[in-house]
Structure formats: structure tokens, C-alpha cells
Amino acid sequence: MSIKNLSGAKTQRSISRFVNRIPWLWVDLVVSHCKLPAWVLSAILFFVLLSAGSLISLLAGEPVQFLMDIRRIIIFSLPAFASYTITSAHNNLKRLEASLAPWVASSAEDTAIFWEKAPLRLMHGYWIFALLWVVIIPCLYIVMQNTLGQMPPPDAAAGTGLIAGEDMGHPKTIANIAMIFAPLVAYFMGSATAVSAVGLGKVAHCLSQELDLKEEFVLQGAKSVLKPFIRMFWVTWSTIALPLLMIGMLAVTNGKISTTTLITDQIPFSPVDIVPLALVVLMLALAVLVPQIYINRLLRKEKREAMDNVLNRIKEATTISATAPTEEVLRHMYNFQSLVYLEKKIDKFKPTMVDTSFVLQNIAVISTVLSAFLAVRTFLNLFIST
């Protein structure tokens, strides 16, 4: 191969490596150089974005409308939640590698290749989700902006909340802010959604296909070994579910804030409104179902292999010559009883990630989201009415 071809191949690999690391730029450029906790970095990002949005609104002469519009606050919180998701996914992936190391039976080379590909697989589908978010954010703003022309005058809509007349910013300002920040929101939310909706399932699927785990993986408690993965799933689902549910509520209410009803009878619910809501529901469904499907498949596979191995050993233990000495018979009996105990232990193992604790955590998250949304709406209505 010529020097020119070698140089071209090297350049191509460098470009490919850079493109693959784009979803992880937050980790490479910020997290890896800061010793601050993940939640602190996310809070800093939120206030930086909020300050930038306030500056734009100030230049447009609408700083009060900007700060009083809950939709914009929620939009700026999306990158903050997503950055926490990305940081947590990065950290828990490292913990998962360390946790699984004692139970991997594959060669060191195969194991190293798997973990080298894991970050890329965790961001599988990133560009598709980033593009979806580029569509969702402007679409959500446009849908709610279009409802302004269908609202009654401010006097007639007294007490209906932030969307009433003068409390809203100028439509052009709304559109400008949406277009300016949509790429940034798409970058962070694309990464977080890719991890929660596809990446976790992809990693679990490849783990079951490419790595061989020892029999003790099931006998010693597979779920405790997979705690970093379960924690990763829990954090990503929680941090993604909260902003997505908030956006879904805004889509359903057309951005209207009311203490009495979620779906207003003053603004007709257009079929166009279903677009952002349907995408949000789709992402939530993927985030909940896909990781569970593949991790449960992995657990079933390991349980089946462990059970087959124990049953084969039980069959061997029951095969003994009629002329065998007493010591050997006793040894076979003891081995048989031990294997029967292992069989019962494996049989009791439930190959599913969902348990009572997980269900309670999900209920707590949804309840917290709904309570927070209603509390904010009530507070803002009381604040405005005074």
C-alpha cells in the first residue's frame, strides 16, 4: 500500500473517530476536566443557557415575558437534564465494566474489543434522535405560538394563565429563541434519548451475544453484578421522563397554564398538536421498553445456560457403577444433593430487571413530575393574579 493510501486511511479513521465522539463531547471537553459533581455541572449549564436566553429577550425588550413564560424555562432545562444523563451513562458504563470483570469467561482480547465499542453502541441512533429534536422544539413553539390568534382578549381571559395576551412574548422573539437554541437542545437531548431509547438495549444485546459469562454469574446474583446497568437505566429514564412528560403536558395544553384543567376548552386541539406529543410518547415508550427487553433476554440466556449445565452434571452424578465402592457412592450422593440445591437456586432466579423497588421508583418519578407541574402552574397563577 502506498504512502498516499496509508495517509488517506489514517485521515479517514481520524474523521470517523471524531464523528463517533461527537455525542460524547460534553464528557470529553467538560466532565473529564472538571471535578465537580454531575448535578452541579448540569445546574451551571442550565443557568448559562437561561442567562443567554434572558439576554436575547432583553435585547428584544421582553425580559419580563421571557422569565414569566414557563415553556422557555422548561426548554432550557432540557440540556441540563440531558447533560446529567450523559455524565451518568459514562460513569456507570465504567462501573459496569469493573463489576462484570470477575464474571467474564471470554478472552481478554474479545473483552477489550467489546468495551472499546460500548460507548459507540451506547449512542446508537444519536443522529436520528438529534434530528427529531431539531424538529420537535421549533414545532412545539410554533404550535403554541399559533394558538395566540385563537385566544380571547386578555380581559376576557383573566385568570387563565401565562398564555393570555400580553403575558406572551412577541411571536418573532419566540421563533428566534426556538431556532437559536434548537441545535443545542437537539445535541444534548439527542444524546440522552439515544442512550435511554436504544443505547442501553444495544449494549445489553451485544453483551449477551459477544461475551461469555461464568455460571457463577447467575448463582452469585446477576442483578447485583448488573447494578451499574440498572442504575444507568434508572437515571436515564428518570432524567428523560421528567422533561419529556413536561413537554407532553405543554403540547396537550397548547402551552396554557391553568389551575383547573389541563386541556383548555378555549383553544381547539388541532391534529398538528399531536406531532410533538406523539414523538414524546414514542421516546418514552422506547426508553422504558427497549432496555428491559434486552437485559431480560440476557438474564434468561444466562439462566438457561446455567440450568442446562447443572442438569447435565446431575445426570452425570446419577450415573454410577453398581460395583463402585462405598466412598464413591457417598461422594456421588453428596455431589447430587449439592447440584439439586443449585438447581433450585437457579430455578428461583427471576430473569427480569423489573421488581417491586423498580416499580415504586417509577411511580415516585411520575408522581413527582405531575406534582411539580401542578405546583408550578398554581404558583405562577397566584403570582400573576397578585
pLDDT digits (tens, 9 = 90+) for 303-338: 888 888 888 888 877 777 767 777 777 777 777 788
pLDDT digits (tens, 9 = 90+) for 121-179: 999 989 998 988 887 776 666 655 554 444 444 443 443 443 444 445 555 666 677 77
d(CA 293, CA 203): 12
SS3 (DSSP) at 106: coil
| Domain-located, residue 217 | yes
∠ CA 107-108-109, rounded to 5°: 90
- Cβ neighbours of residue 99 under 8 Å, at least 6 residues apart? 225, 226, 227, 228
| Structure confidence at residue 340 (pLDDT) | 81
In terms of residue numbers, what domain contains 221? 38-298+370-385
| Domain-located, residue 11 | no
For residues 178 and 228, the model is more confident at: 228
| Domain-located, residue 234 | yes
Percent residues over pLDDT 70 in the chain:
64
d(CA 104, CA 110): 10
| Domain-located, residue 77 | yes
- Cβ neighbours of residue 199 under 8 Å, at least 6 residues apart? 89, 121, 122, 123, 124, 125
Q: Is 313 exposed, middle or buried (0-12, 13-18, 19+ CB in 10 A)?
A: middle
SS3 (DSSP) at 104: strand
The average pLDDT across 61-78 equals 71
Count of structural domains within the chain: 1
Distance of alpha carbon 221 from the chain centroid: 25
> Grid coordinates 445426570 are at which residue?
315
| Domain-located, residue 196 | yes
pLDDT digits (tens, 9 = 90+) for 197-213: 889 889 988 988 888 88
| Structure confidence at residue 345 (pLDDT) | 81
| Domain-located, residue 177 | yes
Q: Tell me the residue type at 215.
A: E
| Domain-located, residue 350 | no
d(CA 87, CA 29): 12
Among residues 236, 229, 234, 353, which one has the least CA distance to residue 296? 353
Among residues 229, 206, 219, 216, which one has the least CA distance to residue 103? 216
Q: Where are the alpha helices (DSSP H) in the chain?
A: 3-21, 25-29, 38-59, 63-68, 70-100, 108-122, 126-146, 171-194, 200-210, 216-219, 222-225, 227-253, 274-317, 326-348, 356-385
| Structure confidence at residue 165 (pLDDT) | 42
| Domain-located, residue 355 | no
Percent residues over pLDDT 90 in the chain:
12
